[in-house]
Structure 1
Amino acid sequence: MIGKIIGALVGREMDRRDGSGGVKGAALGALIGGGLRRMGPLGMVLGGGYVAKKAYDRRRAARQVPPAI
């Protein structure tokens, strides 16, 4: 169950990079989720780390204050 959630999150992050939503992200998430599950615990750690880094980068970018002129 956790593998499916991580696969869906990885698919969403990869689809956001393109800027277009839809079936592509869901298909990528299903394929990547299956691959990560086959890799075992290492795959789950890698997929979770990828999603966590993207979320961290997005939050850090949102918190940056523009320089004063």
Structure 2
Amino acid sequence: MIGKIIGALVGREIDQRDGQGGVKGAALGWMAAGALRRMGPLGLALGGAYVAKKAYDRRKAARSV
């Protein structure tokens, strides 16, 4: 279950990068969730770290404005 949540967050971050909503982020999130699940605990840690880094960068950018 945690892997699916992290996959969804990774997909959302990827989808926000291009600025268009849609299926691309959902599909990439689904693929990322599968890849993270196959990698085991290391994959969950890497996916969580990616999402945390993006959230940190977004918050840091909002503070500097």
TM tier, shorter chain? over 0.9
Between the two proteins, what is the percent identity of the paired residues? 80
- The answer as to 2:59 corresponding to 1:59 is yes
- The answer as to 2:21 corresponding to 1:21 is yes
In the TM superposition, what is the alpha-carbon distance from 1:60 to its structure 2 partner? 0.3
Q: TM-score, normalization: structure 2?
A: 0.97
Alpha-carbon distance between aligned partners in 2 of 1:26 and 1:64, rounded to the nearest angstrom: 31
Residue equivalent to 2:7: 7
What is the total number of aligned residue pairs between the two structures? 65
Q: Which consecutive aligned stretches of 4+ in structure 1 deviate over 2 angstroms post-superposition?
A: none
- From the two aligned structures, give the one with the greater helix fraction: 2
Alpha-carbon distance between aligned partners in 1 of 2:28 and 2:51, rounded to the nearest angstrom: 14
In the TM superposition, what is the alpha-carbon distance from 1:7 to its structure 2 partner? 0.1
- The answer as to 2:39 corresponding to 1:46 is no
In the TM superposition, what is the alpha-carbon distance from 1:51 to its structure 2 partner? 0.2
Q: Which has the larger radius of gyration?
A: 1
Q: Structure 1 regions of 5+ residues with no counterpart?
A: none
Q: TM-score, normalization: structure 1?
A: 0.92
Code of the aligned partner of 2:49: G
Q: Structure 2 regions of 5+ residues with no counterpart?
A: none
- CA deviations on 1:9-65 (whole Å, 9 max, x unpaired) are 000001111111111110000001100000000000000000000000000000014
